Amino acid sequence: MWKNYLKIALRNFWNQRLYSLINVFGLAIGLAAGIFIFLYVQDELSYDQIHSKGDRIYRLTETFKNGDDVTTTAMTPYKIAPLLAEASPAVEAFTRLDTDAGRGETQIIKYGDKKIETQAITFADSNFFEVFSFPLLQGNAKTVLTNPNTVVLSKTQASLIFDQEDPMGKVIAIKDSYSNNSYDAVVTGIMKDMPHNVHFHYDILVSKATGDIIIPQRMDHWGWTSQYSYIILKEGHDIAEVESVMAEVKKKNAPDWFNEWCSFGTQALTDIHLHSNLKDEIEMNGNISNIYIFSIIGIFILLIASINYMNLATARAASRAREVGMRKVIGAQYRQLVRQFLVESMLITFLAFVVALLLANLLLPLFNNLTGKTLAFNDVVKPNMLLIWIGISIVIGLIAGSYPAFFMASFKPIKVLKGLFSKTGSQTLILRKALVVIQFSISIALIVGILVIFSQWEYLRTKRLGINTEQMLMLPIRSQRVLNNYQTLKQEIQRTPGVLGVTATSKTPVSVFSNYNVFDVTKEDDDYTLPIIGIDEDFTNIYSAEIVEGRAFRNFQLDSNSVLLNEAAVKLIGIENPIGQILKFGNTYQPTVVGVLKDFNFESLHKRDSANAFLPDHR
């Protein structure tokens, strides 16, 4: 019997080719969109799920006061993780990633005559591979990072440095391109490349013991926040046990100024990618809101495709009314007709699913280019995923085909054969109109969403930042020797035809501020923190930054004890007459405010009111 149902379904498909192809491609486009959205959502939700102890790993955070405001950073001082591990019985272990290995500057790796530049480098504690589940291809996970001057390379990095040569036991030189400091390290391990779905990516792990020798001063400095600190809870313990001792640990070990200024917190490892947007994140994270939005859009698209199929099927009812009437006259039962129409619906859905897979495979590179992902079609055709999608297709086929099946199977043969189908069909008019209204409502909602997104992109494209960045070329200075001869370099560049001016800043207009300085104001009790940027005397002219009060820097030497604030900084501090005000950066550096700059966007537009201080510098 089922074979007969399928045979009739194929015959009807062939006889109504245009109608059938419209249905197939309509459903296929919806399913293909659903596959793309599913891959995106699945990938976002998979971040940091590879670690066997991931549900017990937490990252420490630091929150510091900024007048009446607070700022939370993902980095912490060197000592807090070991102190918490010692104070709380709930902590099984801790490990840290140390930004002082690169400090955001390019590191040069030397081996023989080969030189390779990288920024994917960090100092790591000796138990790194016992905390995080990154596979080692060579080396012992417990000892590879124990001794000073040892290093673990990713497989790709090792291939770049050593080609086909066995890297184990070889010595490489690591040089900071900015400071020219260098040290040697022995390769003690090779790790598999870190997968894309983790919240940090490094190609070179240098032992923490190496950093302790090179930069020992950071070990006891509570204001030196250069560590990404992680703790593992013992099984059966809760993070609240650790958080309950944080304040006491800080009070007991940190200096008074730090106790008044900072506090610590925690983040679950698996929450970092989608729920964290802190200062000094290792990499750009995702957003849980995008997951919700994409999921809703995916459901809407599938719903539109299903409704479209239902409407087309019921609209075709008139052409098949006599067929149903004749079948009933010769003895076909109601349930048999329902099965027949459901088989036809399932056939169309199955073909649509096959076409959707072909479309997904064909268009996936474009989708990856649009989203910045590296999604693979293999994730769709894995046995478990394939079963899920077949199940979804079956559900869609049953839901989309159920109403047309029950509707057409209920035709009265006498009325149909007498040509009275129009009266019977009119009973479904209200439902069909409702489905059309729902379909168009969803479509309008999606179109409105697209227009909103387009307007946001247009806003980003045309938004005036408050400074001029047109026709600018940025040249990074990655050498202390070049920096020491900046004025000579500046004069040489200015002689180049077509160059209208040259200026230097310690941060580029597309970078995130990472160096906050603590200061207080004379006649004020509160401490404040501001991101500091060094500029030379030509900054305001080159960038067309507007001075709203006071003056700009005139000369690097004469203004060496001066500072510029922007309007947001003045508002933060709460001083009515900023010109002539002295800012106290400790006891040795106390510059005077000589000017106020109109607020401009030097970072993301999300931080349009960011308070900044500008010091005379040429870095």
Residue pLDDT, tens place only, 589-600? 788 888 998 888
**Per-residue model confidence (pLDDT) at position 155:** 95
Q: What is the mean pLDDT of residues 581-588?
A: 77
**Per-residue model confidence (pLDDT) at position 45:** 93
Q: What is the mean pLDDT of residues 569-582?
A: 83
Q: What share of the chain in percent tops pLDDT 90?
A: 28
User: How many residues are recorded in the chain?
Assistant: 619
User: Tokens at residue 619, please?
Assistant: 């870095």
**Per-residue model confidence (pLDDT) at position 119:** 86
Residue with the larger pLDDT of the pair 600 and 134: 134
**Per-residue model confidence (pLDDT) at position 201:** 93
Lowest mean pLDDT among 12-21, 36-45, 196-205, 526-535: 12-21
pLDDT tens per residue across span 598-610: 888 766 666 555 6
Q: Residue 98, SS3?
A: strand
Answer yes or no: pTM beyond 0.75.
Answer: yes
**Per-residue model confidence (pLDDT) at position 424:** 46
**Per-residue model confidence (pLDDT) at position 487:** 83
Mean pLDDT of all residues belonging to the chain = 81
**Is the model's pLDDT at 5 over the cut of 70?**
no
Q: What is the mean pLDDT of residues 172-198?
A: 88
What are the C-alpha distances in Å from 452 to residues 126, 301, 447, 448, 455?
A: 49, 18, 9, 6, 5
**Is the model's pLDDT at 416 over the cut of 60?**
no
Per-residue exposure over 272-311, b if at least 16 CB sit within 10 Å of its own CB, e if not: bbbebebbbbbeebbeeeebeebeebbebbbbbbbbbbbb
CB count in 10 Å sphere of residue 6: 15
**Is the model's pLDDT at 320 over the cut of 50?**
yes
pLDDT tens per residue across span 472-500: 888 877 666 777 788 888 888 888 888 88
d(Cα 216, Cα 212) in Å, to the nearest integer? 5
What are the C-alpha distances in Å from 204 to residues 120, 151, 158, 361, 414?
A: 6, 7, 9, 34, 81
Q: Which residues contact 17 (CB under 8 A, 6 or more apart)?
A: none
